Amino acid sequence: MSYVEMPGAKVPIRMWADPATVEEGALQQLRNVATLPWIKGLAVMPDVHYGKGATVGSVIAMRGAVCPAAVGVDIGCGMSAVKTSLTVNDLPGDLSRLRSRIEQAIPVGRGMHDDPVDPGRLHGFATSGWDEFWGRFGGVAEAVRFRQDRAHKQMGTLGSGNHFVEVCTDTNGSVWLMLHSGSRNIGKELADHHIGVAQGLPHNQGLVDRDLAVFVADTPQMAAYRNDLFWAQEYAKYNRSIMMALLKDVVRKEFRKARPTFEPEISCHHNYVAEERYEGMDLLVTRKGAIRAGSGEYGIIPGSMGTGSYIVKGLGNPGSFNSASHGAGRRMSRNAAKRRFSTRDLEQQTQGVECRKDSGVVDEIPGAYKPIEQVIDQQRDLVEVVVKLKQVVCVKG
């Protein structure tokens, strides 16, 4: 970790990346965040890269304020993983049928279920709090309440971009299930609404970057945002839980003879806000492209669709506000990846993985991401590796 002092900054930037390798656009975003009046700390993860609103791979700790654009539009986006009793010996040589069954069970892209998923019919799904959760939808921003039907039908769906469902194997030959998704369209609608509200508030008019507009404590706008933010984060967690239940059901049916069982689920947000206490202060900690890595807490750090991922355990480093990276992090934009790579490159870089290999996912090619091993090495004081996973099936939207 290195400290980066910048002119006008109210706090030093604690960086778990080589500053010389961080693109100028991301550095400027970090400089801007460090000048905010409410800032109490800023930590930068090794997967750092330029992002809309605020830098991906940043942990922003503020007192009495929160920046909705720093959370991002995919509120509560994160990961879930489950170890199964299956081994590599249980897997067929041709995994195309398994991939097809997953795609049939879990809508991808902009797709949604024809009817809302009934959690009461999902094997082992805990329905406690489900009705109360949906009952609170009537209290979210009025501007998005008309989206309730869509929000119901998108619950348990993947989305597109870097979201995925994977079947993986670990170094001991065990099979894992893993997925990455967030709060879908309803999270984006809530985020867009509140970002617009924040940018119109008087105290935000003199900011160096209008994307850093904040809500401040003890105001109705802050209360409204916190209500909707925490609801959307819960939506994202439910979304992943339902997808995992659907995925388990596919695995039970496809491997009926093996009678698979499943260990407890590991789940973590990586675009969210948490109320935490550091150095005697109650702070609002925004993790955008970062996971919580408190002492002993399990986390998931995925690589790209052809390189593998890591299950980790947090070391509770207060310098990073108990945080770690959320993945490998992009090293080039989506447009740049499309210009540089072809479908042939994609086929080569995802060799051995049952996945899409068409032009629609070239922007997700492994070459567009930083090497995951390097990212892990740069945060050895933040997490310890529990197990490395390698995908054999990858479903993308």
DSSP at 144: G
Is 269 catalytic? The answer is: no
Q: Which two tokens stand for residue 121?
A: 């019919």
What does each C-alpha distance from 108 to 72, 91, 183, 358 come to in angstroms?
21, 24, 14, 15
Residue type, position 156, single letter: G
Task: Judge contact between 99 and 395, C-beta under 8 A.
Answer: yes
**Cα–Cα nearest to 53, from 286, 237, 284:** 286
Q: What is the spatial distance between Cα 342 and Cα 349, in angstroms, rounded to a whole number?
A: 11
Residue owning tokens 């086929």: 347
Q: Which two tokens stand for residue 123?
A: 């094997």
Catalytic site residue from 180, 193, 270, 326: 326
3-state SS, residue 325:
strand
Q: In a 10 Å sphere around its CB, with 0-12 CB exposed, 13-18 middle and 19+ buried, how is residue 157 labelled?
A: buried
3-state SS, residue 279:
coil
**Cα–Cα nearest to 291, from 65, 81, 74, 58:** 58
Q: Which two tokens stand for residue 39?
A: 């800032």
Q: What is the spatial distance between Cα 367 and Cα 393, in angstroms, rounded to a whole number?
A: 18
Q: What is the spatial distance between Cα 61 and Cα 270, in angstroms, rounded to a whole number?
A: 15
Q: Which residues contact 303 (CB under 8 A, 6 or more apart)?
A: 309, 310, 327, 328, 366, 369, 372
Helix axes 184-199, 220-254, angle to 10 degrees: 160
Residue type, position 391, single letter: Q
**Cα–Cα nearest to 78, from 270, 363, 333, 357:** 270
Q: What is the spatial distance between Cα 302 and Cα 321, in angstroms, rounded to a whole number?
A: 21
Task: Judge contact between 33 and 263, C-beta under 8 A.
Answer: no
Indicate which residues carry an active-site annotation. 326
